Amino acid sequence: MNKLNVMNNFLNIKPYAPNLGAVITNIDLSIDISDAELKGIRDAFNKFQVLFFQNQSEISPENHIKLGKCFGDLHIHPAAPKMKNFPEIFEINTDKNSKIANGAEDFHSDVSCDIEPPLGTMLQLHVLPECGGDTMFANMYLAYEALSKPMQVFLGGLKASHESEHFYKGRYQNKNEVDRNKEYPSAIHPIIRTHPETGKKAIYVNKFFTTRIEGLADQESKLILDYLFTHIEKTEFQIRYKWNKNDMAFWDNRCTIHKALWDYFPNERKGRRVTIKGSVPY
Ligand code: SIN
């Protein structure tokens, strides 16, 4: 079916851009969703890779967790502080005192350093700056398809290390004994992964976590990773989402990367996210 002709009996789905994303306007995520709606969301998620639910009210942490669980078990972040009583919730909280803004440094796929990295992430923002604070997303199927055939074949046989200690250690407020003695996740994943539901191939490396290509010399590994980091950030694979208060974004970490823009300092941007567990990439 043409991506721009979306028929769905339950959901009003409009493509966000020709290359990635869709907007859904007629579902209230703060109350239980029906099986038919859930199926519609799953189908749209597989087709568009990032969904933006608009016209929402603020979802309580309990209901946010309940909603996330409709799509699978929830992932607990290996390093970020947990919301009191809700370890599944990752709070996005940036203001004039912030030294970091989560997800702002570079394009990434969430927690790709895990052996079973997250399938997807659902983020709702409740407080927005007057302007700025957009999120960029990029389509990793398109990035794969844009490679030459010989490059696809070459990369298809390679795996890369995804590490996190360099990134997580000391990043959050837990700069104490626990943090110093903590073991941070790392994993080796194929550079080209196959999406378990669509069967499509996507590039699976990112600047946050991917440190080395297995089996190559250091210089070869660095050259190819640098090339890939530049390639996956080409503007033609990207969209830029401008948030409305209480929008919920649901992105697929298996075939997209994203980056939060921190261009609004010292203003506030706040929200909560849940992350759904994934499986071992292949
Ligand atoms: C993240 O990387 O999870 C943060 C995304 C955002 O704040 O837009």
| Res. 8 pLDDT band, cuts 50 70 90 | low
Distance 215 CA to ligand 1 centre (A): 32
Ligand 1 centroid–CA 259 distance in Å is: 6
Neighbours of 92 (CB within 10 A): 20
Fold of 6-276: Double-stranded beta-helix (3.60.130)
- Higher pLDDT pick, 166 / 158: 158
The pLDDT value given to residue 239: 98
166 pLDDT band, cuts 50/70/90, is confident
Which atom of ligand 1 is least distant from the CA of 92?
7
Burial of residue 137 (CB within 10 Å: 0-12, 13-18, 19+) is buried
In the predicted model, is pLDDT for residue 154 greater than 80? yes
Check whether 277 has a pLDDT greater than 80: yes
Q: What is the pLDDT of residue 3?
A: 43
Residue 17 has pLDDT above 70, yes or no: yes
Q: From CA 143, how far away is CA 237, in angstroms rounded?
A: 7
Q: Is 97's pLDDT higher than 90? A: yes
193 an active-site residue? no
The active-site residue out of 64, 75, 77, 110 is 110
Peptide bond before residue 15 is cis, with ω within 30 degrees of 0: no
Confidence of residue 2 (pLDDT cuts 50, 70, 90): very low
Catalytic residue among 64, 77, 108, 272: 108
User: Active-site residue 258, yes or no?
Assistant: yes
Query: Ligand 1: distance of its center to the CA of 122 in Å?
Result: 10
3-state secondary structure of 110: coil
Going by pLDDT thresholds of 50, 70 and 90, the confidence category of residue 210 is very high
The first and second tokens of residue 219, run together, are: 């210089």
Read off the pLDDT of residues 114-141 as tens digits, 9 standing for 90 and up: 999 999 999 999 999 999 999 999 999 9
- Residue 218 has a pLDDT of 98
Provide the pLDDT for residue 82: 83
* Span from the CA of 150 to the centroid of ligand 1 (angstroms): 34
The total of other beta-carbon atoms located within 10 Å of residue 41's CB is: 24
Tell me the pLDDT of the chain averaged across its residues: 92
The ligand 1 atom at the shortest distance from the C-alpha of residue 258 is: 2
Task: Give the pLDDT band (50/70/90) at residue 181.
Answer: low
CA–CA distance, 146 with 149 (Å, rounded to integer): 9
Distances (CA, A) of 133 to 35, 265, 270: 33, 9, 10
Nearest CA to ligand 1 atom 2: 103
> Considering the chain, what percentage of its residues have pLDDT values greater than 70?
94
Residue 212 has pLDDT above 70, yes or no: yes
Ligand 1 atom at minimum distance from 103 CA: 2
Residues lining ligand 1, judged by CB closer than 6 Å?
92, 102-103, 110, 123, 135, 258, 260, 273
The arithmetic mean of pLDDT across residues 236-244, rounded, is 98
Instruction: Look at residue 202 in the predicted model and tell me its pLDDT.
Output: 98
Closest approach atom of ligand 1 to CA 261: 8
Asked if the model's pLDDT at residue 253 lies above 80, the reply is: yes
pLDDT on residue 243: 98
